[in-house]
Structure formats: structure tokens, C-alpha cells
Amino acid sequence: VESVIVAIDGPAGTGKSSTSKAVAAQLGLSYLDTGAQYRAITWWMISNGVDVSDPAAIATAAGKPSIVSGTDPAAPTITVDGMDASGPIRTQEVSSKVSAVSAVPEVRTLITELQRSIAATAATGIVVEGRDIGTTVLPDADLKIFLTASPEARAARRSGELKGADVAATREALIKRDAADSSRKTSPLAKADDAVEVDTTELTLQQVIECVVTLVEERR
């Protein structure tokens, strides 16, 4: 295969981003963080006074911002209308509102088209991480991975990233977001039938990376 497409899905805090970036860098592939795109559109909606509790308002505004993702795994970027959004998309406000925005079908249609065009133009191939990549965005991916971990492990990792955030509060917020993402009608968080499930609870990041790299090489 000249070009390899890898889909990595799973709930928050399972190590998707760290794993996806490292695998892409090791194998010389592009990298796309689709969660960052949903965060970017959510940040634009909040900044522009769109009522994110109103799906009709979200649908109407969905096409307005221009979201551009840089796909270098060593330095991924995200801009909204030309502005660097990599900082503002990681706030707790965005994290708590992104599920409501990403559940709106008009938002998903636009972002999914963007994701497919980015994947189609990646020369050597791409690692795409998200929630519905294996099931909906790239159902013909060469390799699909579904990462899982216990809620405790996920909350501990995420509060480590947030430097000292309360583990119990982080755990509740993650569980709430995963429940919303898994139960929405359009393209919910789900494991594709042909995905390889990797439980990362007892694994180091390095072990997860090695496991995925081996699986990619087997399919190349």
C-alpha cells in the first residue's frame, strides 16, 4: 500500500492524541485531531454569541467559521478564520459545551467533509483520531483502533495533563461527555465492527504506541 489510513477512536483520556501523534511521527504519516476541529467550531460559537443550547442556532451558524488543521504530527495546528485557536480550544468551557455542538447533524456533515478531504490529500497516509472515524468518516481505513481505559485511569491521566485538576471532578466531567457523545443520534462514539480494541489501563504510552505501530506495519 502506498498510502495508509489509520483510524483511532475512543473516549476521552484513553491516550488517543499522544498515541496518534507518536505513531504518525514514527511512520512518516500526517496526523489529524478531529476533536480539535469540533472544539474550534465550539469556541467560535461561544465567542460569537451563538446559544449553544439551541441546536437550530448552531445549525444556522455552522458554516460561518473557516477551520484549518495543520497535519504535521510534530507540530499540529488549528486556526479559526486565520487565528491560532490551539490555546482557547482547551478551556473547560469549551470541553463542557463541545458535545452539544458536535451532536448537531449540520456541524457533523461539514466537519466530516473537511476530514475526508484532508485524508484524501495526505501523500504517505494519515493517522486520524476521534470518535466516529472508523464507523463514519473513513469506513475503508486500512487499520481501525478503538482505545479504552478504566474511568479512573482516564481521569488520572487527564487531571495530570491539566496539572493538579481535581481527579473526582475530572472523572465526572469525562463520564458526562462520553455519555453525551455515545448517546447522540448522529454518528455517536462507537467501536467499528472491524476495529482492534486496545485496553490501555495497564499499559504505558510506549507500549500502546508499539502495539499500534506493529499493527500498521502488518497491514502495509
Q: Does the annotation list 123 as a binding residue? A: no
34 binds ligand C5P (CB under 6 A): yes
* Of 133, 131, 129, 143, residue with least CA distance to 30: 129
Q: Are 32 and 138 in contact (CB under 8 A)?
A: no
Helices and strands (H, E) in the chain, number of each type: 8, 8
Candidate residues 97, 131, 154, 157; the one interacting with ligand C5P per rule CB under 6 A = 131
Strand 143-148 to 67-70 pairing: unpaired
12 is in an annotated binding site: yes
In the complex with ligand C5P, the residue whose CB is nearer, 108 or 214, is 108
How would you list the strands of the sheet with 77-80, edge to edge?
67-70, 77-80, 83-84
Nearer to ligand C5P by Cβ, of 39 and 144: the residue is 39
Return the number of the residue (185 or 218) whose C-beta is nearest ligand C5P. Answer: 185
Among the listed residues 52, 58, 98, 155, the single contact to ligand C5P using CB under 6 A: 98
What phi and psi, each to the nearest 5 degrees, are found at residue 197?
-90, 130
Q: Whose grid coordinates read 490529500?
A: 121
The answer to whether the annotation marks 16 as part of a ligand binding site is yes
**Does residue 44 bind ligand C5P (CB under 6 A)?**
no
Binding mask 164-203 for ligand C5P (x = CB under 6 A): -------------x---x----------------------
- What residues numbered 136-165 form the site for ligand C5P, per CB under 6 A? none
- Give the binding-site size for ligand C5P (rule: CB under 6 A): 14
Stretch that binds ligand C5P, among 53-61, 96-104, 147-155, 158-166 (CB under 6 A): 96-104
Question: How many CA within 13 A on the CB side of residue 127?
Answer: 28
Output 27 or 147, the one with its CB closest to ligand C5P: 147
| Cβ atoms of residues 6 and 216 within 8 Å | yes
Cell triple for 169 = 471532578
What residues are paired with 145 via a beta bridge? 8, 196
For residues 27 and 69, give the distance between their C-alpha atoms in angstroms, rounded to a whole number. Answer: 20
130 binds ligand C5P, rule: CB under 6 A? yes
Residues that bind ligand C5P (CB under 6 A): 12, 34-35, 38-39, 98-99, 102, 130-133, 177, 181
Annotated binding-site members for ATP = 10-18
